[in-house]
Structure 1
Amino acid sequence: MYGGDYQIQGTIFPAPNFNPVIDAQMLGGALQGISCEKDTLIDILTQRCNAQRLMIAEAYRNMYGRDLITDLKENLSEHFKEVMVGLMYPPASYDAHELWHAMKGAGTEENCLIDILASRSNMEIFQMKEAYSMQYNSDLQQDIYSETSGHFRDTLMNLAQGIREDGYADPAMAAQDATVLWDACQQKTGEHKNMLQMILCNKSYQQLWMIFQEFQNIAGQDLVNAINECYDGYFQELLAAIVLCVRDKPSYFAYRLYNAIHEFGFHNKTIIRVLIARSEIDLLTIRQRYKERYGKSLFHDLKHFASGHYEKALLAICAGDTEDY
């Protein structure tokens, strides 16, 4: 199955009979009362698509002369605040926000860089870089260069260029590139690592799909297994993430959510980022992959580890307009 042939579906869609003025009024009442009405925030912000939320924010500013994101930050706390505020960013701005905080905190959060840069299209990367520059008056590629190192940095820098070929597939070249990948897994010199990342970062998804098939024929094993055996550290994780995203992005994000819930003691940042970023793209498909692969629903696992309004907000994003808990 080529990674673009399955049906993908999000959980959040434009709300029917939408009225941003009424929503803004209700949010104003919820935020400016004596006690913050968190259920109202969840009911509105998780049941509107991103474009509608931006219209609500504009109506809110016109009505109250205040910024909705600022008011959410002032009235909410901890992970619930991160969810509600995160929903208010346009997709490119949210990616930029996450990348900035992944690099500018105490230590770099490499897995955030991997999740975002391994999975975004050329256009998404272009828009993300523009947003990053506008929001932080900084250059994304320069920040990646200063905050990371080695072949991991080289691969991230390549991905951040957003120059992947589009739609091109050549069977003869696929066999040749598969041989280069096999050599790179055997010899592991700096030059071979460069060739490996150049192929994975620049070839089209269609071409890579063909290369992966040829690699299986040549090596007698799956490319991800070969990468995991031959390399280590964040370089290995990034290469494997690119391959997995080419094959099936929803499966990759289902795997990331499972790890974030079970392997890292509920890694909230990853869970929040994936749910928000994929909510209008493929979160429903991610839920399906999660259940197929791990035997339990994403709802089950989130309810088991999260609590209170934070749990309610996560479940609402996952559910969208379905009640499949």
Structure 2
Amino acid sequence: MFCGDYVQGTIVPAPNFNPMMDAQMLGGALQGFGCDKDLLIDILTQRCNAQRLVIAEAFQGTFGRDLVSDLKEKLSDHFKDVMVGLMYPPPSYDAHELWHAMKGAGTDENCLIDILASRTNGEIFQMREAYYLQYSRDLQEDIYAETSGHFRDTLVNLVQGTREEGYSDPATAAQDAMVLWEACQQRTGEHKTLLQMILCNKSYQQLWLVFQEFQNISGQDIVDAINECYDGYFQELLVAIVLCVRDKPAYFAYRLYSAIHDFGFHNKTVIRILIARSEIDLMIIRKRYKERYGKSLFHDIRNFASGHYEKALLAICAGDVDEY
């Protein structure tokens, strides 16, 4: 999908786009021992992803060098992560983030949850393809090897991208809700499997009905029930799926707030969400953030980030808004 098809993002296609001029300006900005970081921000955060990819081609043709390699060489720390992250096509960026979440000694389970609980079937299919092309490995096999238990089973279910789309059946909603209710009461392995299969495979429209029926049957919200009955990453993943079904921008607003306030500014999470949602729904995420937490996302980024890193994050968030 071309980036301009998304109307709720903060980054949209630049008018009067001239990739050759942008490439030449970036070449100048990256020359010498230092580099013009302000110019990098002005260009790369004000072009949509499809335009950035065209700029990279023009850069290669003009200078005979790879733009991403030059950015990696000239930049450092979190500012480099932002600028380089902007250069990945969305499926490749998801693949990159998942790979780094699983490589090495530890696993970043929250990264796996954020990505796999929120992506559409089409996005998951493209992500799996990109993962194989970039790393010559199967994403599902890596997830299976790096995680365990019902958390692993749920992730594997999600990464298959088999969720029903655009389909709802009110007649079976109460039945599905009863299965969920029993799963929260019994907590056996079989019940956990049924629980995750419903949450991973039913359409968003169907799950809306199921959650309403669950409330009617149990007198309890599904999120509260999951939090009471389960724990660990399995519980966090199930809740993430429910929250994404209900209001995906609100889920990401919550994740940004947690990353900024609960972890002393968890840079990887903030960067990943801002880049991944910049052409999809970041404008709505900003709105949800302000509604729920009383302060703007701009305000909180300013309080915790600094320098060109801060400027780059704010530029991604800003869109066509002049005032932060």
TM over 0.5: yes
2:294 aligned residue: 295
TM superposition shift of 1:105: 2.9
Deviations 1:108-154 (A, max 9, x none): 00000000000000000000000000000000000000000000000
Partner of 1:3: none
Task: Give the whole-Å Cα distance in 2 for the aligned partners of 1:35 and 1:200.
Answer: 50
Contact 1:224 1:240 in 2 (8 A): yes
- Corresponding residue number in structure 2 for 1:282: 281
Map of 2:244 onto structure 1: 245
How far apart are the structure 1 equivalents of 2:21 and 2:7? 32
1:132 aligned to 2:109? Answer: no
Runs (4 or more) in structure 1 with deviation over 6 Å come to: none
In 1: Cα distance, 2:322 partner to 2:262 partner: 28
What is the 5 A alignment of 1:45-84? 45-84=44-83
Distance 1:249 1:61 in 2: 37
Task: Determine the structure 1 residue equivalent to 2:3.
Answer: none
- SS, match of residue 32 in structure 1: coil
Task: Give the TM-score taking structure 1 as reference length.
Answer: 0.97
SS in 2 for 1:115: helix
Aligned to 1:204: 203
Matched, 1:159 2:158: yes
Check conservation: 2:37, 2:308, Cα contact below 8 A. yes
2:221 & 2:87 partners in 1: Cα distance?
A: 40
Identity of aligned residues (%): 81
- The 8 Å contact of residues 13 and 47 in structure 2, kept in 1 or not, is answered as yes
What is aligned with 1:35? 34
Q: CA deviation at 1:106?
A: 2.8
Residue 183 of structure 2 aligns to a residue whose secondary structure is helix
| AA aligned opposite 1:201 | C
* SS of corresponding position for 2:30: helix
The CA RMSD over aligned residues, in Å, is 0.9
> What residue is the counterpart of 1:19 in the other structure?
18
Q: What is the alpha-carbon distance in structure 2 between the residues aligned to residue 127 and residue 35 of structure 1?
A: 37
Number of the residue aligned with 1:233 = 232
| Mapped partners of 1:218, 1:115: distance in 2 | 29
Aligned to 1:309: 308
Matched residue of 2:11: which SS? Answer: coil
Q: Could you tell me how far apart the structure 1 residues matched to 2:303 and 2:211 are? A: 37
How much does 1:90 deviate? 0.1
Structure 1 position 8, deviation (Å): 6.9
* Aligned mates of 1:160, 1:35 — CA distance in 2: 42
Separation of aligned partners in 2, 1:18 and 1:115: 33
Report the Cα distance in structure 2 between the residues aligned to 1:125 and 1:324, rounded to whole angstroms.
35
Find the aligned partners of 1:299 and 1:207 in 2 and give their Cα distance.
36
Distance in 2, matches of 1:324 and 1:253, equals 22
- 1:91-170 paired onto structure 2 within 5 Å: 91-170=90-169
Note the residue ranges of structure 1 that are not aligned, 5 or more in a row.
1-6
Which residue of structure 2 aligns with residue 194 of structure 1? 193
CA distance in 1, matches of 2:229, 2:35: 53
Q: Secondary structure at the match of 1:82?
A: helix
Q: Distance in 1 between matches of 2:114 and 2:237?
A: 8
In structure 2, the gaps of 5 or more residues are 1-5
User: d(CA) in 1 for partners of 2:158 and 2:323?
Assistant: 36
Is 1:256 matched with 2:255?
A: yes
User: In structure 2, how many angstroms separate the alpha carbons of the residues matched to 1:8 and 1:114?
Assistant: 25
Question: 1:8 touches 1:284 (CA, 8 Å); kept in 2?
Answer: no
Q: Which amino acid aligns with 1:289?
A: R
- Equivalent residue number for residue 273 of structure 1: 272
Tell me the amino acid that sits aligned with residue 315 of structure 1.
Answer: L
The residue identity in structure 1 corresponding to 2:293 is Y
Aligned partners of 1:192 and 1:277: how far apart in 2? Answer: 34
For residues 324 and 239 of structure 1, what CA distance do their matches in structure 2 show? Answer: 37
Instruction: Return the offset for 1:321.
Output: 1.6
CA distance in 1, matches of 2:133, 2:65: 21
> Could you tell me how far apart the structure 2 residues matched to 1:101 and 1:35 are?
28
Q: For 2:322 and 2:185, how far apart are their aligned partners in 1?
A: 50
Aligned amino acid, residue 260 of structure 2: I
**Could you tell me whether the CA contact under 8 Å between 1:47 and 1:321 is conserved in 2?**
no
In 2, distance between residues paired with 1:291 and 1:245?
Answer: 18
